[in-house]
Amino acid sequence: MKVLVPVKRVLDPYVKVRVKQDKSGVDLSNAKMAMNPFCEIAVEQAVRLKEQGVASEVVVVSAGPQQSQETLRTGLAMGADRGVLIPTDVALEPLAIAKLLKAVVDKEDPGLVLMGKQAVDGDNNQTGQMLAALLGWAQGTFISKVELQDGAAQVTREIDGGLETLQVKLPAVLTVDLRLCEPRYASLPNIMKAKKKPIDTHSPEDLGVDVTPRLQVSRVEEPPARQAGIKVESVQELVKKLHEEAKVI
Amino acid sequence: MSVLVIAEHDNSRLFTGALSTIAAAKKLGDEDLHILVTGSGCRAAAEHAAKVAGCTKVLLADGDSLGHGLAENVAPLVAELAKNYSHVLAPASTFGKNMMPRAAALLDVQQISDISGVESPDTFKRPIYAGNAFATVTTSDNPKLITVRATAFDDDPAEGGSAAIEEIEAPADQGLASFVGQELTQSDRPELTSAKVIISGGRGLGSGENFQMLERVADKLGAAVGASRAAVDAGFVPNDYQVGQTGKVVAPDLYIAVGISGAIQHLAGMKDSKVIAAINKDEEAPIFQVADYGLVADLFQAVPELEKEIDAIKG
């Protein structure tokens, strides 16, 4: 079974976000970029499926600026077999990405799409669900465990009250949560090998997808700053302040 | 045009997140506010919805295919109904996040996630980059599908309405997914996202047993217990305790962070709390940059003391 893993290039999640002066967006010039952490987990899970003999091939796909190729190389260094790059300078929204991915699925015919539950830049948490809808496939979102059986996947999902287990028919789209697995570090030899792995390129036009944004972003602002607090010297003082000053206990 | 709110419920009452979503819907200024209740055996929840102040009609879809909120069965129903509305809103809970984008794609509209403000009927504010920035976005899609950050809107509990309940047919099972089982965390404490006081523990607690110290304090304050991702990953507490970008977003009156360093991803989930208190032995911990009251101390001494001091006040 072929597994398709969409990956996204995002601002490194440990880097402090700077909003542009003109409020047009977040300043990404010279910022450190990385693979979205949820996508890393999806790649790791796909590579594990290959190591278990369940997956025959792992294909990573990324849509975005040309530099997304680096993100694909990271996935290849983790053990994916080949990459698909969809270069575009348009700021892609989840619906557009889902349509691009549907076009890739139509070409590649995978038995499973494994992807992150959300990207840590847009925080939308939509693309996997939208892709499943466009394909008419089952979805298993926010999964922390997956077992593939004959023609189906048993997935454990992280829900508000705890955990839930579903049986979903394959092919399906599964979106991964942080606790699914611990992604591996790519070793230097694997990084070198990844340079030789093939990456196909398809433009959105090749794929016949209109990626024009539907939403207009009028401004991006910093959140209101919190007033600096005070340090207290003892638990007694803390409780007194919370009780008498803040009146919250 | 009118607004449809998809209510999340426990078969007998709407969740507070549903009431917050209704509060957000009222800011759109439309005259008709309809509430959709889906599930299996959920008539009582529809009766609760009918009493919500401002609700003009309740749509009840009750059937086996809708029993566990499977997106494959609920989303086509929502997409079909949405054609009659200008806006469709759901809470940004795991239920709403799972189902709404599927409905949006079926309608070919770009959903807007986790809104924290309504500027006008087509313009909304939402957090991006773990709440380190807020984007104001305008949509011309029709209908507009939106999920709502519950903590950003009052969970208006006002009752007194008497809307009619209209039964609609539950869709056939799509046969794509089926429910196997669930493990829900049992607790007598208030639910995390609606608690007025939360005490949260991090890696500093060292073990699951040590969380009992926090639980004792929580019980005295009528508080909920939360956790950082580090504490969840270490297996101290179940994942549904997690507060942060990828866990729950909370905004209680008081948030007490114990042994939590204050990573960006954690702050994303609790920065909007009214008052933040932090207990940490590392005075450089980033949590102190957002804490209204910070105490540099060893939590193993401070927390039992905290329990005693609260006793003294409450006594």
* Interface contact A98-B105, CB threshold 8 A: yes
B18: amino acid identity, one letter: A
- Chain-centroid distance of CA B273 in Å reads 14
The more confident residue out of B313 and A191 is A191
Interface check A159 vs B, CB under 8 A: yes
Cβ burial, residue A233 (10 Å; 0-12/13-18/19+): exposed
Give residue A150's pLDDT.
87
Across the interface, do A243 and B297 touch by the CB < 8 Å criterion? Answer: no
Residue A198 confidence (pLDDT) above 90 = yes
User: Which pLDDT score, from 0 to 100, does residue A197 have?
Assistant: 98
pLDDT of residue B219: 96
Q: How much is the pLDDT for B155? A: 83
What is the model's pLDDT at position B157?
Answer: 78
> Cβ distance B173 to B73 under 8 Å?
yes
Name the burial class of residue B253, with classes exposed (0-12), middle (13-18) and buried (19+) by CB atoms within 10 angstroms of its CB.
Answer: middle
| Residues 70-99 in A contacting B (C-alpha not used; CB under 8 Å) | 93-95, 98
> How distant is the alpha carbon of residue B123 from its chain centre?
22
C-alpha dihedral over B144, A114, A202, B139, to 10 degrees? 10
Cβ of A120 under 8 Å from any chain B Cβ? yes
- Tell me which chain A residues have a C-beta less than 8 angstroms from the C-beta of B221: 249
**CA-based nearest residue in chain A for residue B303:** A235
- Please report which confidence band the pLDDT of residue A192 belongs to, taking 50, 70 and 90 as the band edges: very high
| B87-91/B112-115 β-pairing | unpaired
Q: What are the tens digits of pLDDT across the range A151-178?
A: 999 999 999 999 999 999 999 999 999 9
**Which CATH number applies to B2-168: 3.20.20.120, 3.40.50.620, 3.30.460.80, 2.60.40.420?**
3.40.50.620
B263 is in an annotated binding site: yes
Mutate to test the interface with B, among A40, A105, A139, A212 (most CBs of B within 10 A): A139
Task: Give residue B315's pLDDT.
Answer: 74
Token pair for A35: 């693979």
Q: pLDDT tens digit string along B144-186?
A: 999 999 999 998 778 999 999 999 999 999 999 999 999 999 9
Would strands A112-116 and A2-6 be described as parallel, antiparallel, or unpaired? parallel
> Region A37-54: what's the mean pLDDT?
98
Nearest to B184 among A118, A144, A161 (CB): A161
Q: Determine, for residues A235 and B129 on separate chains, whether the beta-carbon distance falls below 8 Å.
A: no
Closest CA to B200 of B285, B153, B267: B267
Q: What is the pLDDT of residue B158?
A: 83
- Nearest CA among A107, A113, A226, A234 for reference residue A168: A113
pLDDT digits (tens, 9 = 90+) for B186-195: 989 999 999 9
Distance, in Å, from the CA atom of B232 to the CA atom of B39, rounded to the nearest integer, reads: 31
A144 and B239: CB-CB below 8 Å? yes
Q: Which helix (H) or strand (E) holds B307?
A: helix B299-314
Domain B2-168 identical in fold to domain B192-314: yes
CATH among 3.30.420.40, 3.40.50.1220, 1.10.1750.10, 1.20.930.40 for B192-314:
3.40.50.1220
Count: domains in chain A: 1
Question: What residues in chain B have per-residue pLDDT under 50?
Answer: none
* Helix (H) or strand (E) segment spanning residue B141: none
Residue A249 in any domain: the answer is: no
Is the confidence at residue A226, as pLDDT, over 90? no
Q: How close, in Å, is residue A90 to chain B by CA atoms? A: 15
Give the angle subtended at the CA of B78 by the CAs of B241 and B101, to the nearest 5°. Answer: 55
pTM greater than 0.95 (yes/no): yes
Which A residues in the span 195-234 are in contact with B, Cβ-Cβ below 8 Å? 213-223, 226-234
pLDDT band at A20 (very low <50, low <70, confident <90, very high): very high
Query: What does the alpha-carbon distance between residue B11 and residue B67 come to, in Å, rounded to a whole number?
Result: 10
Looking at beta carbons, which residues of chain B come within 8 Å of A125? Answer: 97, 101, 113-114
Instruction: Flag whether residue A107 sits within 8 Å of chain B, measured between CB atoms.
Output: no
User: Which chain A residues are Cβ-neighbours of B130 within 8 angstroms?
Assistant: 13, 17, 120, 123
Q: How do A162-169 and A152-159 pair as beta strands?
A: antiparallel
Neighboring chain A residues of B279 at a CB cutoff of 8 Å: 238
Pick from B272, B264, B283, B271: which is nearest to B129 by CA?
A: B264
Find the CB nearest B313 among A127, A131, A243.
Answer: A243
Q: Say what the pLDDT of residue B156 is.
A: 77
Instruction: Report chain B residues whose CB lies below 8 A from the CB of A243.
Output: 313
Three-state secondary structure of B156-171: CCCECCCCEEEEECCC
Residue B30: per-residue pLDDT: 77
Which residues 174-193 of chain A have a CB within 8 Å of chain B? 177-179
Q: Per the domain annotation, does A103 fall within a domain?
A: yes
Residues B113, A162: C-beta atoms closer than 8 Å: no
Tell me the chain B residues in contact with residue A122 when contact means C-beta distances shorter than 8 Å.
128
For residue A206, count CB atoms less than 10 angstroms from its CB and return exposed for 0-12, middle for 13-18, buried for 19 or more.
Answer: exposed
CATH of the domain at A104: 3.40.50.620
CA A114 to CA A3: how far, in whole Å?
Answer: 7
Name the 3-class secondary structure at A69.
helix
Q: Which residues of B touch A217 (CB under 8 A)?
A: 135-137
Boundaries of every domain in chain B: 2-168, 192-314
pLDDT at B314: 83
Identify the closest residue of chain B to A151 by CA–CA distance: B176
Query: Which chain A residue is nearest to residue B138, measuring alpha carbons?
Result: A216
Least CB–CB distance from A121: residue in B111, B128, B313: B128
Q: Please tell me the predicted confidence (pLDDT) of residue A225.
A: 87
Whether residue A110 is contained in a domain is answered as yes
- A219/B136 Cβ within 8 A: yes
Over 90: is that where the pLDDT of A243 sits?
Answer: yes
**Rounded (10°) CA dihedral A212, A213, A217, A218:** 40
Cβ atoms of A248 and B165 closer than 8 Å? no
Task: Give B-chain residues touching A24 at CB under 8 angstroms.
Answer: none
Q: Judge whether B194 is annotated as a binding position.
A: no
Enclosing domain of residue A82 = 2-244
